[in-house]
Amino acid sequence: MRKKRIVIVLFLCVMLVSTACGKDKTNNTSTPTAEATPTAEATKAPEVTPTAEATPTAEATKAPEATPTAEPTQIVTDPGKVLVVVFSATGNTKKVAEMVAKIENADLYEIVPAVPYTSEDINYGNYNCRALKEQGNASARLEIGSDAIDISGYTRIYVGYPIWAGSEPRILDTFVESYDFDTATVIPFCTSGSSGIGSTGTKLATLAGSGNWQTGKRFPGSATEKDVQAWIDSMKQ
């Protein structure tokens, strides 16, 4: 009987130990669940990667912006010589022509009438003055007194004149009809009291029959070198 009790006690002990081990196993199972937190953090890590990848993408967007800045602004310039031709009765257009010649490092050629204008000739308050009579006759061709010039070596030719009765002085018609502008770029400009350059450039181009004539520009008599520089710069960009 006593032996039987001992066996029962032993059996109970074994059961107790067995139950305790079973509890430990359950705890061991829950531990990995707690360790799942770092696993979740690991899942976050790849999320950081695209953010990090966004940086090069942003830099790549910047790159094309830098490209035009790196490239210099293209300036269209003629490789050849430049000539400035001018007719001026009272000095305003000649002054602008000298500015153009200085800026363009150009040669200057002045159209001088064979018969010079007196102040009375150009007194346009008088309808019967010589200049206005000439302007009233589209076929009038004033003789040029200055020596002829060889324009064949010039690739860009500026032609300057005052506006007389809304048009170019007739001596300009003589000049453009006397020369072959070939393929030169011809740029008309004028000074006036208030009138625009109008169709004078187109008329001169037609009379010349040669040259690549550009849109002209009118200046006031008070034009400064800054004005002239800005105009020339605008044509080169």
Q: Which residues bind ligand FMN (CB under 6 A)?
A: 88-94, 122, 124, 131-132, 162-166, 191-195, 221
Closest to 164 (Cα-Cα) out of 193, 186, 126: 193
* Strand, helix or coil for residue 33: helix
Beta bridge partners of 167: 164
Our CA dihedral for 189, 194, 195, 197, rounded to 10 degrees, sits at 20
How far is residue 236's CA from residue 213's CA, in Å, rounded to a whole number? Answer: 15
Quick one: 185 or 191, whose CB is closer to ligand FMN? Answer: 191
Q: Are strands 81-86 and 154-162 parallel, antiparallel or unpaired?
A: parallel
Q: Where are the beta strands (DSSP E) in 79-142?
A: 81-86, 107-110
Closest approach, Cβ 88 to ligand FMN, in A, equals 3
Closest approach, Cβ 123 to ligand FMN, in A, equals 7
Closest approach, Cβ 197 to ligand FMN, in A, equals 10
Closest approach, Cβ 153 to ligand FMN, in A, equals 26
Contact 111, 146 (CB under 8 A): yes
Our CA dihedral for 14, 20, 26, 29, rounded to 10 degrees, sits at -90
Quick one: 153 or 166, whose CB is closer to ligand FMN? Answer: 166
- Which residue's structure tokens are 């000074």? 191
Quick one: 81 or 108, whose CB is closer to ligand FMN? Answer: 108
Beta bridge partners of 160: 86, 189
Closest approach, Cβ 151 to ligand FMN, in A, equals 21
Quick one: 160 or 211, whose CB is closer to ligand FMN? Answer: 160
Which DSSP symbol is given to 142? P
Quick one: 126 or 152, whose CB is closer to ligand FMN? Answer: 126
Q: How many residues does the chain have?
A: 237
Quick one: 93 or 185, whose CB is closer to ligand FMN? Answer: 93
How far is residue 172's CA from residue 203's CA, in Å, rounded to a whole number? Answer: 10
Closest approach, Cβ 230 to ligand FMN, in A, equals 19
Quick one: 18 or 128, whose CB is closer to ligand FMN? Answer: 128
Closest approach, Cβ 163 to ligand FMN, in A, equals 4
